[in-house]
Amino acid sequence: MERRSTTFTVFIYASALLLAAIILAPIAWLFIMSISPAADLAAKPLRWWPQTADFSRYQTLLSTAENSAGAAFTSSLRNSLEIAGMATLAALALAIPAGWAVSRTPAIGWSLSMVIATYMLPPVALAVPLYMGLSHVGLLNNVFGLALVYLTILAPFTTWLMKSGFDSIPREIEAAAMIDGAGLFQTLRIITLPLAAPVMATSALFAVLLAWDEFFYALLFTSDQRAKTLTVAIADLAGGRVSDYGLIATAGVLAALPPVLIGLVMQRALISGLTSGGVKG
Amino acid sequence: MSGTWMTTRAWLLMLPLLVVMVAVIGWPLVDTVNLSFTDAKLVGTGGNYVGFDNYTNMLSSSNFSRTLITTTLFAVISVAAEMVIGVLAALLLNQQFHGRAVLRALMILPWALPTVVNATLWRLIYNPEYGALNAALTQLHLIDAYRSWLGEPGTALAALIVADCWKNFPLVALIALAALQAVPRDITAASLVDGAGAFNRFRFVILPYLAGPLMVALVLRTIEAFKVFDIIWVMTRGGPANSTRTLSILVYQEAFSFQRAGSGASLALIVTLLVTVLAVAYAALVRKTAGSAA
């Protein structure tokens, strides 16, 4: 390793501290707001550190009492979980066979390229017909309807990830199993799919994150507690006449918790998933 | 096993995906094209055929040109800032220091934070009466009175760009870091021996390794930024005085607020065309960069 001067070392540590502060300060402030008494948040000069930690807002939002702020929040939480779960399962069910087929039969690769090219489409280019279509079949303001629409985002992405995953499993392993007399589906079940399990897990996590994050379609296609997702509920809170900013911050913390935990725990897998596209170029 | 059977089998496995994609993307897209030539409303029966009227009206409206400029400003400035800050952060994270692994793990936080939560968080920070930015700047004596950062046309777009950059530069940093770690150590060592300065080392030794991955990040981020909706809707809804209204917001207003499905569809297709042109131009550029770096 090259030797470094003291000045350079000091510079590195100062920059690292600055970067850490830039990343952490807004997130820390979101959490501090969520536990600060309302009076502290409205104080001038602003009180940066609460005198007493007040966790009551978490209780408020997670309570399921009828017609409370909690009822709206918990129902949107449940909707988000259901929609993300259904859309992810459906996307994987489509992506695994398609990803394998393209990986093993390059001749049909152009069809996947077309599917992936839809990534460029702005959602507004599909929104009006989707709205009319969902309304026509009675799936507006419905968790199934929204999960179906989310396939426009989830399916191309997961197929692309699965295809790259299958590409890294040598086809010689499959060929060997077949020579030993295994049929195609037996080979896939015993050999290929177990080897692809980590990629499937990564794809599923990405799909859940994408669905959890989605806002545009949810805003358009849902209108009340039956299907409103967490992102719409939070936008409602932020844009509404809520006088307690701490409550908005609390909703934000709760909505951010699952993806942030996934992000931290699955760091390595997520980063390699994110960068594989970049590095392969 | 014969090649035709292999191909047929592959198509059969692709079929479910293709059917769903045609249903939720292909058909709506074709329908948007059809709608764009009519004066259809969002609800009610289909409208009358009006030819290219929607397109000519939209392209000649001052709303459109102003919105296009706003969108371009947002996309160019935020993506440029994200690339520069992202590469600087990656160069830092590629150094050896205590706590590097922790800092690298922290980078995933803004990326994982849902876009709407990020927008809400910054909306609270910019709050004109109780916001942390006003409080901090006043306590540091940098401003005399609280300001409405999102409420003034002069600062709203800049405030949005800062919020967008904060969320997205870490992704660029992680991509750049992965590329930096692929630079062979002996190459940088050799350039040191040859007496290359820090800047020349970056320009001629390291940058070629970064170029490919960064181009891909640039393409993806630019397309995303051009389509931006969520963060703007939550923070300003395109206001004040339409100073932060981007193309996607304009389509939303046209098709859903004013219920003019036909004219909204034509605008949506104009946006699609712009994004496609961007993507094709970039793809050519990526291929060129990849070619010259190899």
Contacts of B10 in chain A (CB under 8 A): 101-102, 104-105, 107-108
Taking a C-beta distance cutoff of 8 angstroms, is the pair A148, A218 a contact?
Answer: no
- Cα–Cα distance between B84 and B100 in angstroms, integer? 20
CB nearest A120 (choices: B103, B214, B279): B279
Q: Does B285 touch chain A (CB under 8 A)?
A: no
Instruction: Look at residue B149 in the predicted model and tell me its pLDDT.
Output: 93
CA of B28 vs chain A CAs: smallest distance (Å): 5
Amino acid (1-letter code) at residue B256: F
Give the Cβ contact number of residue A132 at 10 Å.
18
Closest CA to A158 of A104, A209, A204: A204
Provide the token pair at B122. Answer: 């910054």
Computed over its alpha carbons, how large is the radius of gyration of chain B? 24
Instruction: Look at residue A279 in the predicted model and tell me its pLDDT.
Output: 37
CB nearest A41 (choices: B107, B130, B170): B130
Of B114 and A190, the structure prediction assigns the larger pLDDT to: B114
Q: Closest-CA residue in chain B for A238?
A: B120
Residues 199..228 of B with a Cβ closer than 8 Å to A: which? 212-217, 223, 226-227
Write the CB contacts of A247 (distance below 8 Å, at least 6 apart in sequence).
Answer: A57, A60, A61, A69, A237
- Cα–Cα distance between B56 and A161 in angstroms, integer? 41
For residue A1, how far is the Cα from the chain centroid?
39
CB nearest A127 (choices: B13, B129, B255): B255
Concatenated DSSP letters of chain B:
--HHHHHHHHHHHHHHHHHHHIIIIIHHHHHHHHHTTB---SSSS---B-TTHHHHHHHHSHHHHHHHHHHHHHHHHHHHHHHHHHHHHHHHHTS--TTHHHHHHHTHHHHHS-HHHHHHHHHHHT-TTT-HHHHHHHHTTS-SS---TTTSHHHHHHHHHHHHHHHHHHHHHHHHHHHHTTS-HHHHHHHHHTT--HHHIIIIIIHHHHHHHHHHHHHHHHHHHHT--HHHHHHTTT-STTTT--HHHHHHIIIIIS--HHHHHHHHHHHHHHHHHHHHHHHHHHHHHHHHH-
Q: Closest-CA residue in chain B for A233?
A: B116
The verdict on residue B83 lying in a domain is: yes
CA of B276 vs chain A CAs: smallest distance (Å): 7
Task: Provide the CATH number for the domain around residue B86.
Answer: 1.10.3720.10
Instruction: Look at residue A281 in the predicted model and tell me its pLDDT.
Output: 31
CB nearest B106 (choices: A24, A209, A262): A24
Listed range (A262-266, B183-187, B249-253) with the worst mean pLDDT: B183-187
Which of the four pLDDT bands, split at 50, 70 and 90, describes residue B16?
very high
Taking a C-beta distance cutoff of 8 angstroms, is the pair A247, A163 a contact?
Answer: no
Instruction: Look at residue B291 in the predicted model and tell me its pLDDT.
Output: 61
Q: Do B117 and A252 touch (CB under 8 A)?
A: yes
**pLDDT (tens digit per residue) in B49-83:** 998 999 999 899 889 999 999 999 999 999 999 99
Instruction: Look at residue A2 in the predicted model and tell me its pLDDT.
Output: 53
The verdict on residue B28 lying in a domain is: no
Q: Do A97 and B17 touch (CB under 8 A)?
A: yes
CB nearest A260 (choices: B31, B113, B166): B113
Provide the token pair at A245. Answer: 């900013």
Listed range (A114-123, B84-93, B125-134) with the worst mean pLDDT: A114-123
Listed range (A177-181, B29-33, B185-189, B286-290) with the worst mean pLDDT: B286-290
Instruction: Look at residue B292 in the predicted model and tell me its pLDDT.
Output: 59
Instruction: Look at residue B209 in the predicted model and tell me its pLDDT.
Output: 82
Taking a C-beta distance cutoff of 8 angstroms, is the pair A97, B13 a contact?
Answer: yes
pLDDT in tens, chain A (281 residues): 456 788 999 999 999 999 999 999 999 999 999 999 988 888 888 888 888 888 989 988 888 777 777 888 999 999 999 999 999 999 999 999 999 999 999 888 899 888 988 888 889 999 999 999 999 999 999 999 999 999 999 999 999 999 999 999 988 888 888 888 888 888 888 889 999 998 999 899 999 999 999 999 999 999 998 999 999 999 998 887 777 889 999 999 999 999 999 988 887 777 776 665 443 33
- Cα–Cα distance between B31 and A130 in angstroms, integer? 9
All structural domains of chain A: 1-54 (no CATH), 65-280 (1.10.3720.10)
- Cα–Cα distance between A108 and A100 in angstroms, integer? 11
Percent of residues in chain A assigned helix, strand, coil, to nearest 5? 80, 0, 20
The verdict on residue B100 lying in a domain is: yes
Q: Do B268 and A252 touch (CB under 8 A)?
A: no
Contacts of B182 in chain A (CB under 8 A): 279
If one counts the domains in chain B, the total is: 1
Residues 19..78 of B with a Cβ closer than 8 Å to A: which? 20-21, 24-25, 27-29, 31-32, 35, 42-43
Residues 228..257 of B with a Cβ closer than 8 Å to A: which? 229-230, 233-234, 237, 247-248, 251-252, 255-256
Contacts of B28 in chain A (CB under 8 A): 125-126, 128-130, 133
Instruction: Look at residue A275 in the predicted model and tell me its pLDDT.
Output: 63
Q: What residues pair up with B49 in beta bridges, in sequence order?
A: B38
pTM of the model: 0.91
Give the Cβ contact number of residue A261 at 10 Å.
11
- Cα–Cα distance between A142 and A221 in angstroms, integer? 8
What range does the domain containing B234 cover? 49-293
- Cα–Cα distance between B101 and A242 in angstroms, integer? 39
Q: What are the b/e assignments for B198-210, b being 16+ CB within 10 Å?
A: eeebeeebbeebb
Q: Do B213 and A122 touch (CB under 8 A)?
A: no
Instruction: Look at residue A268 in the predicted model and tell me its pLDDT.
Output: 75
ipTM of the assembly?
A: 0.91
| A140 DSSP assignment | T
CB nearest A129 (choices: B28, B114, B267): B28
Tell which phi-psi region holds residue B242, choosing left (phi > 0), alpha (psi between -120 and 50) or beta: left
Instruction: Look at residue A218 in the predicted model and tell me its pLDDT.
Output: 97
Q: Closest-CA residue in chain B for A252?
A: B117
Q: Do A104 and B10 touch (CB under 8 A)?
A: yes
Contacts of A94 in chain B (CB under 8 A): 16-17, 20
Q: Closest-CA residue in chain B for A12?
A: B92
